[in-house]
């Protein structure tokens, strides 16, 4: 199906484990983003990518790693999960240049770290 998808939709893991959240988009958008949503904080940018092999930190990058070997995929890895990383994670993509930045969001992954 066309659009942007995330997997898994729900994940429960334990402190210290590595977790990878997947994001896939079919629009060939250049830009992709990872956000986390927490009560009282809205959506905060973790990492973003302007193109394949180009990534940069956002507002809250600590504890996360990203890669983008293909335009359509942008996985987010928690190398050693902590309870503070319990959150809802959204991936987004955008095909536009800076200045006109409508982003399209995936359905989210709810991650619980025990």
Partner 1 sequence: DQQVKQNSPSLSVQEGRISILNCDYTNSMFDYFLWYKKYPAEGPTFLISISSIKDKNEDGRFTVFLNKSAKHLSLHIVPSQPGDSAVYFCAASAYNQGGKLIFGQGTELSVKP
Whose Cβ is closer to partner 1: residue 74's or residue 90's? 90
Q: Which C-beta is closer to partner 1: that of 2 or that of 40?
A: 40
- Total of chain residues touching partner 1, rule CB under 8 A: 30
d(CA 12, CA 15): 10
42 touching partner 1, by CB under 8 A: yes
**Shortest Å, Cβ 13 to partner 1:** 20
Rounded distance, CA 81 to CA 15, Å? 5
**Cα separation of 67 and 77, whole Å?**
9
* Order of strands, sheet of 4-7, starting from the edge strand that comes earlier in the sequence: 4-7, 19-25, 76-78, 64-66
Q: Does 53 bind partner 1 (CB under 8 A)?
A: no
Residue 23, token pair as written in the block = 């994001």
Among 23, 33, 64, 111, binds partner 1 (CB under 8 A): 33
Give CA torsion, residues 40, 42, 46, 47, to 10 deg. Answer: -170
**16 vs 97, beta carbon nearer partner 1:** 97
Binding residues for partner 1 (CB under 8 A): 4, 31, 33, 35, 40-45, 48, 50, 56, 58, 90, 92, 94, 96-108
């Amino acid at each position: 199906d066309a659009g942007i998808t995330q997997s898994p939709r729900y994940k429960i893991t334990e402190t210290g484990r590595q977790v990878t959240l997947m994001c896939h988009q079919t629009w060939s958008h250049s830009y992709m983003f990872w956000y986390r949503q927490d009560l009282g904080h809205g959506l905060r940018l973790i990492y973003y990518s302007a193109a394949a092999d180009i990534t940069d930190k956002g507002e809250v990058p600590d504890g996360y790693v990203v890669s983008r070997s293909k335009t359509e995929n942008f996985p987010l890895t928690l190398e050693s999960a902590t309870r503070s990383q319990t959150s809802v994670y959204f991936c987004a993509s955008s095909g536009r240049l800076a200045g006109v930045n409508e982003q399209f969001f995936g359905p989210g992954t709810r991650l619980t770290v025990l």
